Amino acid sequence: MALDPETFGALLDTVRRFVAERLRPLEEKVAEEDEVPEDIVREMRELGLFGLSIPEEFGGLGLTMSEEVRVALEFGRTTPAFRSVFGTNVGIGSQGLVMAGSDAQKAAWLPRIASGEIVASFALTEPGAGSDSASVQTRAVRDGDVYLLSGSKRFITNADKASLFTVMARTAGEGAHGVSAFLVPADLPGLSVGKPEKKMGQQGAHVCDVNFDETPVPVANRLGAEGEGFRIAMRVLDRGRLHIAAVCVGVAERLIADAVAYASDRRQFGKPLADFQLVQAMIADSKTEALAARALVLETAARKDAGDPIVLECAAAKYFASEMVGRVADRAVQIFGGAGYIADYGIERLYRDVRLFRIYEGTSQIQQLVIARETIKNGG
């Protein structure tokens, strides 16, 4: 159920000011230290950001998808690492539980996820299973009242902060139908988390390996029935892809604003860069593509709220928006010229940050396959 317009408007205004006044001044510090300050995390909890998508009955804000993507747009106007702090709680870390959890599972975990007391993470990717996510080899073997979980997960967002993982593991034969989903507390024996990886961009947002050595997971922690894990994961990713598409649009709008400000101030040949038509062409292309992506995101979110099937549209939004923001970032560097290559201006940092959007939660190539499959299935 949507918030009333006045309440939601106040939330958006608060988020907008939080991004502008608290987060953007800290971008360089977070990039250098590879850590978001704890006082910022605490403020995010107080603002309710960890529970944006969690139903009100469990302590969340219960935003509709249309409302959630508008909040994500605002968070796109700063380094993506800030959104990542609560992003897994809002998206892939909690939504399997929201969609498929039992009443007891929801009551046990969702209030603490919504408050930010615990961080939830999503463990699907493995050393040998990335885009081919149905080929996971982590195994869960039932032994009485527990499943013994063994295997390794890779590039897991917020793993070093997580208290709860949604883990996809094989309980039967090969293929998607042999995968089941489990809620795995981080303090169970046999579970270990590796060191954060050194990355190209998005410093402050950590990804780590997660290893399981006959970790005893109670049968009561299985999400849904055996063999339903892959279906749950795909539903979670559909929603996550739309959220990421919205973040991409927000970053693009930030880059365009920065490029326009620089081009208006920087003078060459006796006049501002913004007066040169070839610079104007880059601005025009960027603005047009960002507007198109924004429209696609908002329309898809509205269709999801209406209960329409949106597998194709989520894939299209994520594909178009993530590719779009890469082009916009490249043009922004070009408009800044030599300054765009210098760390002090921040543009090169955003250029590196946005590169990941074309890879995680389904590569652009996977989105193309989904779009083509759904289009052909639907007869065009």
Domain architecture of the chain: domains with CATH: 5-115 (1.10.540.10), 120-225 (2.40.110.10), 231-377 (1.20.140.10)
Which residues in the chain land under pLDDT 50? Answer: none
309 three-state secondary structure: coil
DSSP code string of 210-247: EEEEEEEEEGGGEESSTT-HHHHHHHHHHHHHHHHHHH
User: How much is the pLDDT for 3?
Assistant: 83
pTM of structure: 0.95
Q: Decide if 314 contacts 242 (C-beta within 8 A).
A: yes
Q: Which residues pair with 151 in a beta bridge?
A: 212
Q: Which residues pair with 353 in a beta bridge?
A: none
In a 10 Å sphere around its CB, with 0-12 CB exposed, 13-18 middle and 19+ buried, how is residue 265 labelled?
exposed
* Residue of 27, 74, 253, 361 with catalytic role: 361
Q: Decide if 21 contacts 78 (C-beta within 8 A).
A: no
286 three-state secondary structure: helix
Give buried/exposed letters for 179-218 (b at 16+ CB in 10 A, else e): bbbbbbbbebeebebbebeebebbbbbbbbbbbbeebbbe
Q: Decide if 238 contacts 70 (C-beta within 8 A).
A: no
Q: Is 32 a catalytic residue?
A: no
Per-residue pLDDT tens for 19-46? 999 999 999 999 999 999 999 999 999 9
Q: Decide if 211 contacts 152 (C-beta within 8 A).
A: yes
Per-residue pLDDT tens for 296-341? 999 999 999 999 999 999 999 999 999 999 999 999 999 999 999 9
Q: Decide if 19 contacts 74 (C-beta within 8 A).
A: yes
Q: What angle do CA 163, 168, 173 make, to 5 degrees?
A: 155
